Structure 1
Amino acid sequence: MRRAARPLLYAGIVTAVVGLSVYHSRAIADPPYSYTSTSRFGWSLLYIAVLAVVAYGLGLPDLPRSPRQAVTTSVAAAGAGAFVVSIVQLFLGEALLPRFVVFGSAILLVPWYLVCVALAGAGVPAVTGDRVLVVSDTVDPSLLREDVARSPERPAIVIEVLPVDAAASNGRGIEPLVERARRDRIDLLVLDRDAQASPTIVAQAAAMHESGLRIRTLSLFYEEWLGMLPVSELERVSLMFDIGELHRARYGRVKRVVDVLFGIVGLVLLALLTPVVLIGNLVANRGPLLYRQTRVGKNGQHFEILKFRTMRAGPDEAATGWTVEADPRITPFGRVLRVTHLDELPQVVNILRGDLSLVGPRPEQPRYVEELSQKLPFYDLRHLVRPGLTGWAQVKYGYAGDERDALEKLQYEFYYLRRQSLALDLRIVGRTIRSVLGREGR
């Protein structure tokens, strides 16, 4: 039933809006009218889309983890959808949909959302996930546990990171790997390259595999459970996979068409919201409207990225090092722009120019690219594709404030390069919407 929760949620939205629209047209309106023959049919479809996007963005039906969260999220999702349509109607000065349909749907959907949350398993203790035993001399246990806890693709708990020598059999009938796996009730055994090169470890792993225990290489574990590639694998696999924009011409063309369509829509939003930002600047963010900075794009080409300014007017922050998340230079109105992500909106101009794509690795400043390229020989691989407004590393890791963060994000970027596709791009866009609507900005 958990898999059916989301389709049922969307089906409920369609049923509520269409059902109330048909009922209104036949039983309430005077005189009655044909629902499908009027403009209200198209506007009701738009209302359905708004409700679906808001519900997904706020995490329904799977993210609430308590009854209280389920109720507040359900009320917020239904109310926000009705509010958006009401604002549009107020702005246009015309009743596009009857109030009976707008608010009636919102009222009906709150209990339906709660039903779908219950089906998705919310309100009960979260499953801890697979109990994992890692055999490796190179993995940092604390960093691995941080990665697993941050935003895993599959829930897991790292029970132990065992050195290769400690896992190997001494040839006298003692099987330390088997004993530890049984003692700790391990569900998944992960072996790095050195562990795979040990005959006694492989023999123990084979016996456990026959008994039903799952086995993964370190690289596959990072990919399947964490959505990233481990640092130890980056240089070794850097040439061993196709990159969508380089090796699949059709993907690259479709991706560019999507970028242009998104850029056109974004340009309309930019025109509508720029006056609001101008007023905010006059009150609490005095100085230039736009912030411009040189970034490194596809094939190492430099371009000027555009943002609404969020810091006090002054020297380029590049002169003071990495920008931190709670930077004291951010103005009060600038903080609002960052939390809402409106500061990124001018980048639709960069997308239309071809500097940026909707999805891709975030572009860095030239000085940081030079530093990281010297320390990480495989770092420049990220510049084989067009950088993005959002990306897999952004939705999985978030803000990078130093070189350690940059290295962590690079592991996610390699995962994106390895699996680049329209399906993954759509998944990233969905997670970005959920992040913007459901959590704080960067």
Structure 2
Amino acid sequence: MVNTTSFDTTDHSTPIFDTAPRGGSFGFRVAKRTFDIVVGLALLPLVLLFGIALLIVNPFANKGKLFFVQPRMGRDTKAFNAIKFRSMRAVEKVQRSADCPLEVDRITPLGGFLRKSRIDELPQVLNVLKGDMSLIGPRPDYYDHALHYIEEIPGYRERHDVRPGISGYAQTELGYIEGVEATRRKVAADLHYIENASFALEAWIFWRTLVVVFKRAGS
């Protein structure tokens, strides 16, 4: 796991259910968290199945560790370790600015498939069950980039009033986001999601996520 001792992880524990009056009514937040747990448990066998398959295939098509673990900014701007199936070639860590484009040349052919199919996201189910994430919410950014965005973009801190999500309104409506200017639009979408939290909006995002996955749109 990534060492998060250099980050502000004071009182990092997350309650099973949200109790603060944000991101919808109390009933909505309880139902949302219950849904997260039920679906997360249902998806665990898939995580195991694909994990075993990748352990067998990776030595030939994607040499390196099974998982990619990265510190992300979560609820209340606290750091947590997001877990994904690795899709990029293992190289020494390279510092990348918040505006630097994704290192596409590092993505392996197998990794490209994992990204397009969203299989690489499956291990984040563990983050959902732990309480670091929700199935739906603002997409968590790399922690160092998020610290930059907090200073640069109005409203960015407020998007962390709720748990981040594996999918979310900004992802389904705006697609892949990279850089400060695009992140400004993402923030506006995330704040819209938080301010209008409802079962109907949640269902819309869930449906749009399925469409994106089946169309294999974005990366």
Matched residues in 2 for 1:304 and 1:326: separation? 21
Matched residues in 1 for 2:30 and 2:203: separation? 16
Cα 1:272–1:439 shift into 2, 3 Å: closer
**What amino acid does structure 1 have at the position aligned with 2:154?**
P
CA shift for structure 1 position 264: 0.3
CA shift for structure 1 position 334: 0.7
- Where does 1:236-275 land on structure 2 (aligned, <5 Å)? 245=22, 248-275=25-52
For residue 97 of structure 2, the aligned residue among 297, 321, 326 is 321
- Whether the aligned pair in 1 keeps the contact of 2:36 and 2:135 (CA below 8 Å) is yes
Count of residue pairs brought into register by the alignment: 199
- Whether the aligned pair in 2 keeps the contact of 1:307 and 1:346 (CA below 8 Å) is yes
- Where does 1:10-409 land on structure 2 (aligned, <5 Å)? 245=22, 248-316=25-93, 319-322=95-98, 324=101, 327-409=104-186
- Whether the aligned pair in 2 keeps the contact of 1:280 and 1:333 (CA below 8 Å) is no
- Whether the aligned pair in 2 keeps the contact of 1:341 and 1:441 (CA below 8 Å) is no
Cα 1:261–1:316 shift into 2, 3 Å: farther
1:437 aligned partner = 214
SS of 2:106's partner is: coil
- Whether the aligned pair in 1 keeps the contact of 2:175 and 2:218 (CA below 8 Å) is no
**What amino acid does structure 2 have at the position aligned with 1:393?**
A
**What amino acid does structure 2 have at the position aligned with 1:320?**
R
User: Percent identity over the alignment?
Assistant: 36
Q: Deviations over 1:36-83 (max 9, x none)?
A: xxxxxxxxxxxxxxxxxxxxxxxxxxxxxxxxxxxxxxxxxxxxxxxx
CA shift for structure 1 position 439: 3.6
**What amino acid does structure 2 have at the position aligned with 1:283?**
F
Matched residues in 2 for 1:321 and 1:309: separation? 21
Matched residues in 2 for 1:278 and 1:304: separation? 21
- Whether the aligned pair in 2 keeps the contact of 1:292 and 1:306 (CA below 8 Å) is yes
Q: Deviations over 1:128-172 (max 9, x none)?
A: xxxxxxxxxxxxxxxxxxxxxxxxxxxxxxxxxxxxxxxxxxxxx
TM-score normalised by the chain length of structure 2:
0.85
**Taking CA–CA contacts closer than 8 Å with sequence separation of 6 or more, which of the two structures ends up with the larger relative contact order?**
2
CA shift for structure 1 position 295: 0.6
Matched residues in 2 for 1:245 and 1:258: separation? 18
Matched residues in 2 for 1:433 and 1:305: separation? 21
CA shift for structure 1 position 400: 1.3
Q: Deviations over 1:251-300 (max 9, x none)?
A: 11111000001110111111122122222311111000000000111111
Identify unmatched segments of 5+ residues in structure 2. Answer: 1-19
**What amino acid does structure 1 have at the position aligned with 2:97?**
G
- Superposed CA RMSD: 1.8
CA shift for structure 1 position 247: 5.5
Matched residues in 2 for 1:338 and 1:325: separation? 13
SS of 2:105's partner is: coil
Matched residues in 2 for 1:373 and 1:350: separation? 23
SS of 1:320's partner is: coil
CA shift for structure 1 position 320: 2.4
TM-score normalised by the chain length of structure 1:
0.43
CA shift for structure 1 position 325: 5.3
- Whether the aligned pair in 1 keeps the contact of 2:76 and 2:162 (CA below 8 Å) is yes
- Whether the aligned pair in 1 keeps the contact of 2:172 and 2:209 (CA below 8 Å) is yes
For residue 412 of structure 1, the aligned residue among 172, 189, 194 is 189
Cα 1:377–1:277 shift into 2, 3 Å: same
Q: Deviations over 1:361-415 (max 9, x none)?
A: 0011222122111122321000100000100000011111211111121121121
